[in-house]
Amino acid sequence: MSEIRHNALIGWQENAKLTSSGNKKLENKKISDIFGMNVFDMNTMKEYLTEGAYFSILAAKKQNKKIEIETAEMIAKGMKKWAIDLGATHYTHWFQPLTGGTAEKHDAFYKPSSSNTNGIENLTAAELIQREPDASSFPSGGLRSTDAARGYTVWDPTSPAFILEIESGKTLYIPSVFISYTGESLGYKAPLLKSIESLSQAATSVYHYFDESISSVIPTLGCEQEYFLIDAGLYEARPDLMLTGRTLFGRKSAKGQELDDHYFGVIPERVHNFMNDLEEESLKLGIPVLTRHNEVAPGQFEFAPMFEELNVANDHNMLVMDLMHKVARKHNLRVLMHEKPFHGLNGSGKHNNWSMATDTGINLLSAGNQPGNNLPFITYFVNIIKAVHDNADVLRASISGPGNDHRLGANEAPPAIISIFTGSVMEKLLADFEKMGLNPNAPEGNPKMELDIPKIPSAILDNTDRNRTSPFPFIGNRFEFRAAGSTQNCSLPMMTLNTMVADQLNSFKKSVDEKLSNGTPKEQAITQILQGYIKEAKSIIFNGDGYSDEWEKEAEKRGLSNVKTTPYALDAFITDEAQLLFERNNVLSSKELIARYNVLQEIYVNKISTEACMVKELALTHILPAAIDYQSQLLKLHKGYNELGLDKASTDIKTQIEEIHGHTHAIRNYIAQMDKAGDQMHGVKSVNDESKWLNDNVKPYFDKIREHADALEILVDDSNWKLPKYRELLFIK
């Protein structure tokens, strides 16, 4: 066995011993004792802020009022005192650039003073509100150039500041938007906030048909995060995992997920310890993590928080992804968030549970006791279906990425076809409403199911079954956008969904108001328009098996798109219709939208190029040397033992080696051609062309090389193989 693989396999036991024996700090404590203890939330603000400063933040959160500089000075003073009281020495504006991750630049509270040799700790209003990072090294998609590099981070008072603690100290984090010197958004948070406001205005305006007392509607979100955990030593013995997040080579283990014995199984102790520590750190930061369990694939897990206001929920998801990596290292584990880290096993998604709620606490997607007679619910339900129908390609673009291309349609996740699952109960409700409108005699929802099991109480049925094969199922009181990838910043798909639903609700209100002005009674006007929407949009509804080949054929008949790869799916963002959609809802200018398109295409190019280089390197430095070395051993044995069939074994290995050599040579040639073409077409060739060229010409070789490398894995003696195998990566806990 190679030294690297041998050391990794021996080292995992020591890693497990060094792991924390479990989180003891929560013993004899309730979760409520620590929840939010490191968050500058509204309760903490009451203690540290003046009454005026407190109500100014409340007004910013609830009424979108801007905070004046004088008030910001008092807030900065109170926030600094709170942070220092808890031991923080630095602060940072925490923002979400177009890389898809988070970014931070730390500054010390301490300021030297000429009049006081010891200096002072301080945080001014100007420092709280705005800082200047160098924007030149962040992707901008053409919005900024290197010689015009200034950018600003600006405080978002609607998402609470928090303190992040590591062994060496504590830092105050201030959630912020990221903009250019000329005001364009260079990050994900600003357009998300704009889309939330756009949806709030549209949804509130429509709800006033039913109740004029509400002031606002807020979209809510709960992000289910799937991930893999593997031993740190095994991870570090796999260069492909370290640099690309997925195994570019690796034959399926003799046992995988086919027995369904991992899903919801007993959580391994080492993983349980990791989860306990992760939950404690999350709870301190006010992240309501409530659910944890084993997922389908061996080594795969999930946690899910309770829903929150969408902006805060997204911040919390980005924060917890960072926390996962930090906590895993303490347990000598590594977190894999790639959408498809292991070939042939389920990948990881991030299910976005989305709904809308009024400021009075009414969930607009709660069907109530009698859904067929609930006009407010039907209004929002049908408008969302219409919005998805009319903007399906844009919604598909919002969840595009090289990792998700491996997952979508792989019989583990929804297909690349955007459709809506309503369930049979809601399907009948829509059919009945289309024919006759509201039904005062409609059956009550949530019926009981009497179980023929002694001593077991009745079960209460939901309004829908669950459908794992749909990208956008309705699941009783919310829609679950299941197609988002596990590495994604939820801002992009949620911004897209908010915008298109807001646009649809605005169109709906305009149509209703026209009918009202012509004397049509309100309920009749609303019903007639919704009936028309159902007729127009019901082709997007599919309640069957989204994994089936039959659905692809049926979807094509219905005229639904099935764009399977990122470079082509992203084109939906730059259509005239998409640009108008985001512009008229004041979410993204055409320039900002095209910039995001360029950034996402560039990310695709960079990731596929990295994988191409890694495929070549591993094939030439790990796979082929192991195969050639073993082949030499066979040939030496063959001289004296012809009857053992060693010549046939050697020939089989030779065939695989030759195939790998040929395909890696082809990759080298294609990349050389691309580089040459780029030099010749300097300033002409677009990143769009480059991504499609890589997708069509280079990426197909990855699977071809993998097929032969994985064949070698069972032809070459185990003692010669250098890379840790799937059985080791997945089943060593």
pLDDT digits (tens, 9 = 90+) for 281-301: 999 999 999 888 889 899 999
Chain-centre distance of CA 600, in angstroms? Answer: 14
Span 344-369, average pLDDT:
94
Percentage of the chain modeled with pLDDT above 70: 92
Please tell me the distance from the alpha carbon of residue 472 to that of residue 386, in angstroms, as a whole number.
13
Q: What is residue 643's predicted lDDT score, i.e. its pLDDT?
A: 54
Position 686 pLDDT exceeds 90: no
Mean pLDDT value across the chain: 90
Q: What is residue 134's predicted lDDT score, i.e. its pLDDT?
A: 82
Q: Is 405 helix (H, G, I), strand (E, B) or coil?
A: helix
Position 20 pLDDT exceeds 60: no
* Per-residue model confidence as pLDDT tens digits over 608-655: 999 999 999 999 999 999 999 998 888 877 665 555 566 778 888 999
Q: What is residue 457's predicted lDDT score, i.e. its pLDDT?
A: 79
Candidate from 422-431, 512-521, 523-532 with smallest mean pLDDT: 422-431
Q: Is 170 helix (H, G, I), strand (E, B) or coil?
A: strand
Q: What is residue 119's predicted lDDT score, i.e. its pLDDT?
A: 75
List of residues 6+ apart from 62 with CB closer than 8 A = 215, 216, 359
Position 521 pLDDT exceeds 80: yes
Percentage of the chain modeled with pLDDT above 90: 71
* Per-residue model confidence as pLDDT tens digits over 81-99: 999 999 999 999 999 999 9
Residue of 351, 248, 249, 247 whose CA lies nearest to 299: 247
Position 682 pLDDT exceeds 50: no
Q: What is residue 446's predicted lDDT score, i.e. its pLDDT?
A: 64
More confident residue, 565 or 678: 565
| Side-chain half-sphere CA neighbours of 220 within 13 A | 21
Q: What is residue 29's predicted lDDT score, i.e. its pLDDT?
A: 72
Provide the pLDDT confidence category of residue 453 given band limits of 50, 70 and 90.
confident
Provide the pLDDT confidence category of residue 116 given band limits of 50, 70 and 90.
low
Q: What is residue 117's predicted lDDT score, i.e. its pLDDT?
A: 66
Provide the pLDDT confidence category of residue 17 given band limits of 50, 70 and 90.
low
Q: What is residue 723's predicted lDDT score, i.e. its pLDDT?
A: 95
Provide the pLDDT confidence category of residue 672 given band limits of 50, 70 and 90.
confident
Q: What is residue 684's predicted lDDT score, i.e. its pLDDT?
A: 41
Q: How many residues does the chain have?
A: 733
Following DSSP, what letter does each residue of 259-306 receive, concatenated?
T--STT-PPPHHHHHHHHHHHHHHHHTT--EEEEEE-SSTTEEEEEEP
Position 685 pLDDT exceeds 70: no
Please tell me the distance from the alpha carbon of residue 364 to that of residue 371, in angstroms, as a whole number.
12
Following DSSP, what letter does each residue of 6-29 receive, concatenated?
HHHHHHHHHHHHHS-----TTTT-
Residues in a beta bridge with 308: 221
Provide the pLDDT confidence category of residue 263 given band limits of 50, 70 and 90.
confident
Cβ count near 62 (within 10 Å):
13
Q: Where are the domains of the chain?
A: 35-187, 196-602
Q: What is residue 441's predicted lDDT score, i.e. its pLDDT?
A: 83
Provide the pLDDT confidence category of residue 693 given band limits of 50, 70 and 90.
very high
Chain-centre distance of CA 707, in angstroms? Answer: 30
Q: What is residue 371's predicted lDDT score, i.e. its pLDDT?
A: 86
Position 21 pLDDT exceeds 50: no
Maximum alpha-carbon separation in the chain: 101
* Alpha-carbon separation of residue 708 from 345, 658, 675 (angstroms): 19, 9, 27
* Per-residue model confidence as pLDDT tens digits over 204-248: 999 999 999 999 999 999 999 999 999 999 999 999 999 999 999
| Side-chain half-sphere CA neighbours of 589 within 13 A | 9
Position 22 pLDDT exceeds 50: no
Position 274 pLDDT exceeds 90: yes
Choose which CATH entry (3.30.300.30, 3.40.30.10, 3.40.228.10, 3.30.590.10) describes domain 196-602. 3.30.590.10
Please tell me the distance from the alpha carbon of residue 312 to that of residue 355, in angstroms, as a whole number.
14
Assess if CATH 3.10.20.70 describes domain 35-187: yes
